[in-house]
Structure 1
């Protein structure tokens, strides 16, 4: 299996001025950790600003001015699926190292603007890619500092975390460009595009690994930005009868 030579991180954003600074700082720290151990690997961070009406664009612009690895893309989908696809399309269209858009040496890492990745996030994904993974599915945990205690307990009852877990989260997903292109990319869905991509990858015979070694912390808010997204799910979980959780 060819070693990864370039990583493109894609972050869709819709009105996340308060959480975006921490999200970008965490991704930059993960990029620093990767390049400290693998300096030959180029890293780009693409921020897809989708119909933002708050200060998200200004926040992203300040971060881009401070870190040359960050670039901005303005889109008007009002859809996390649409903005994620657009970010990937931009990453494939302008690889910084001149790799072909469907190169097995290009890695596409995905997270969200309300989430903070761990420092080993990219390094671990590339370690698994070196061992044969075409895609890596990480776990997600609501941030205990911003999540109601009962809701957090409910989340863990419903989502036991560990290796070979069954979960798919766009906030913690990496994929080799060659596998992404072969599978046809993210499907054109307003939500659940992450699960749709993984289904396509498996149908095309890609090697998909699930791990809890790169757990991402995401906002525990229930005022959802995306219909049928993570916040909507948390709201439904909070309203679910306790008896149903035990079942």
Structure 2
């Protein structure tokens, strides 16, 4: 199995000026930890600004000025699947310019969201698992207790036991080898469930997909969802249907 030589982080953004600074700071810390342990690995962080009408672009630009690993891509899809796909396409083209072959198995594509904070070991652990044979790594996600109603948080945890070999798929915590990503056809241009669709294709093509709870990502507990049928919409359902969910 080819060892990872480059990591590209892709973060889709739609009007996230309030939460984006925390998300970018967390990814920067994870990149520092990875390169502190594996200095030969190059890291890039691509912020995909999708139809933003707030100050998300200014926030991302500020981080790019402070850290040369960061760059921006502006798109107008209003689609998280389209944003992820465009960001990864840009990362693939950039890796060619840096000398890696097309869809290289040495390139790791790490995905998270602009309303989420990754742990410091997020990239290091993914690379470790990739070097042990994983073509894709599915991490866990939990709502931020500080922004989530206590009863909603309790119901969420009751329905989402977290541990190794878990069944969950979250675009906010998903890494994939570039060669496997291209083989599976990439993220479809969907407004929701693009992550599940990709993972289904990875399984279909016989890729090695590993699930772990060692890189748990904390995401916003808001219920005004950016993506229809996404994480926020699910939390809203927990709020709006208490009688059905208690039973």
User: In structure 2, what is the Cα distance between the partners aligned to 1:212 and 1:59?
Assistant: 30
Q: What does residue 68 of structure 2 align with?
A: 68
Q: What does residue 241 of structure 1 align with?
A: 242
Classify the secondary structure of the residue corresponding to 1:225: coil
Tell me if the contact between 2:13 and 2:114 (Cα under 8 Å) persists in the aligned partners: yes
Q: What does residue 23 of structure 2 align with?
A: 23
Residue by residue over 1:129-180, the C-alpha shift from the partner in whole angstroms, topping out at 9 and shown as x without a partner, is 0110000000000000111100100110110000000000000000000000
Classify the secondary structure of the residue corresponding to 1:139: strand
**Correspondence list, 1:8-157, <5 A:** 8-95=8-95, 97-157=98-158
User: In structure 2, what is the Cα distance between the partners aligned to 1:225 and 1:165?
Assistant: 25
User: In structure 2, what is the Cα distance between the partners aligned to 1:163 and 1:220?
Assistant: 23
After TM superposition, give the deviation of residue 243 of structure 1 in Å.
5.2
Q: What does residue 179 of structure 1 align with?
A: 180
User: In structure 2, what is the Cα distance between the partners aligned to 1:232 and 1:243?
Assistant: 16
After TM superposition, give the deviation of residue 227 of structure 1 in Å.
1.2
Aligned residues: 246
User: In structure 1, what is the Cα distance between the partners aligned to 2:244 and 2:200?
Assistant: 31
**TM-score where L is the length of structure 2:** 0.97
Residue by residue over 1:96-124, the C-alpha shift from the partner in whole angstroms, topping out at 9 and shown as x without a partner, is 63212311000000000000000000000
Tell me if the contact between 1:154 and 1:238 (Cα under 8 Å) persists in the aligned partners: no
User: In structure 2, what is the Cα distance between the partners aligned to 1:199 and 1:225?
Assistant: 23
After TM superposition, give the deviation of residue 189 of structure 1 in Å.
1.6
After TM superposition, give the deviation of residue 70 of structure 1 in Å.
0.3
After TM superposition, give the deviation of residue 229 of structure 1 in Å.
1.3
Classify the secondary structure of the residue corresponding to 2:176: strand
After TM superposition, give the deviation of residue 240 of structure 1 in Å.
2.5
| Unmatched tracts of structure 2, length 5 or more | none
| Unmatched tracts of structure 1, length 5 or more | none
Tell me if the contact between 2:80 and 2:189 (Cα under 8 Å) persists in the aligned partners: no
After TM superposition, give the deviation of residue 221 of structure 1 in Å.
0.1
User: In structure 2, what is the Cα distance between the partners aligned to 1:209 and 1:32?
Assistant: 24
Tell me if the contact between 1:111 and 1:170 (Cα under 8 Å) persists in the aligned partners: yes
User: In structure 1, what is the Cα distance between the partners aligned to 2:153 and 2:242?
Assistant: 15
User: In structure 2, what is the Cα distance between the partners aligned to 1:188 and 1:59?
Assistant: 26
After TM superposition, give the deviation of residue 238 of structure 1 in Å.
1.7
